[in-house]
Amino acid sequence: MADPSIGVIVPVYNGERYLAAAIESILGQTHLPDEVVVIDDGSTDDSAAIAESFGPPVRCLRQANAGVTAARNLGVAECRCELLAFLDADDLWHREKLAVQAARFAARAELDMSFSHIENFLSPEFAGRESEFDLWKFGQPMAGVITQTMLGRRELFERFGDFAPDMPHAGTRDWLLRVVEGGATQELLPEVLVYRRIHDTNLSTERAADSIDEYLRLVKASLDRRRAAGGTPKTLPFAMADSGSSAESNAAACDLPPSRSQRPTTV
């Protein structure tokens, strides 16, 4: 039986500083994807031109600015691969990311989603300004139950719908909650396979008040759905695991063993 096809979706908005490095980390995989779809969300810089310069298997689609959630939804609609992965335009993958997760799908026929641990790093241009980023933990593995680490079956979007377009900050987390509540089979790998770049733009986004409001909305919606179905909030911690918390506390919240991950020697 042939291996399932793998597509990667990369939303970008004015990401010319980091986009090339993100795409290079995808094309440097030991298990290459079949398709890379970059969604330019109305950028006013050279993001689209950078994406288009790579050629196949990278293709770039442009949309009027509608936010990262809408960009991811367009990517899902356009990419027809059986397994889907997501990478933000300022982050990086470990070179074995797709190989490790593809092997898990080969070993577990029932698996719907595979996640990995993640590690934050301060973008080099901010060296010496670490005190401005005290919200973040650097150099330690953290549970990454987020789209940037996920390799998941395309059919999940057919079963559970798109990311919530009215939640630009929390739309992906809302989707994860719906999928987990629906009984999807998931796992959290101990390896660090994604490196999240911390810089001025994503710091301000994480601290935004509307981001907090969206997370409160999605938690309430999740609890309401399960109360209506006569269920319990047992699955909530897994899908809500915060990649800004320690690996051990997230593993405990997810009812998983503590992390055994180590920083890979080669990204």
Q: What is the mean pLDDT of residues 181-204?
A: 88
Per-residue pLDDT, 211? 65
Residue 50 has φ and ψ, to the nearest 5°, of -65, -45
258 is a domain residue: no
- State yes or no: pLDDT of 203 exceeds 80: no
User: The domain that contains 172 carries what CATH number?
Assistant: 3.90.550.10
DSSP type of residue 195? E
Give the chain's domain count: 1
Higher pLDDT, 220 or 100: 100
262 is a domain residue: no
91 is a domain residue: yes
Tell me how many degrees the CA angle 133-138-143 measures, rounded to the nearest 5: 115
- C-alpha to C-alpha distance for 149 and 189, rounded to whole angstroms: 10
pLDDT band at 215 (very low <50, low <70, confident <90, very high): low
pLDDT band at 232 (very low <50, low <70, confident <90, very high): low
Calculate helix-pair angle for 68-78, 171-181, nearest 10 degrees. 50
153 is a domain residue: yes
263 is a domain residue: no
80 is a domain residue: yes
219: left (phi over 0), alpha (psi -120 to 50) or beta: alpha
Q: What is the mean pLDDT of residues 62-67?
A: 96
138 is a domain residue: yes
Per-residue pLDDT, 189? 97
**Region of poorest pLDDT, from 76-90, 97-111, 121-135, 205-219:** 205-219
Per-residue pLDDT, 27? 99
18 is a domain residue: yes
Residue 169's domain comprises: 6-253
- State yes or no: pLDDT of 185 exceeds 50: yes
- State yes or no: pLDDT of 116 exceeds 90: yes
Would you say 257 and 15 are in contact if contact means Cβ atoms under 8 Å apart? no
- Taking the whole predicted model, whether its pTM rises above 0.85 is answered as no
Would you say 17 and 29 are in contact if contact means Cβ atoms under 8 Å apart? no
Per-residue pLDDT, 43? 98
- State yes or no: pLDDT of 217 exceeds 80: no
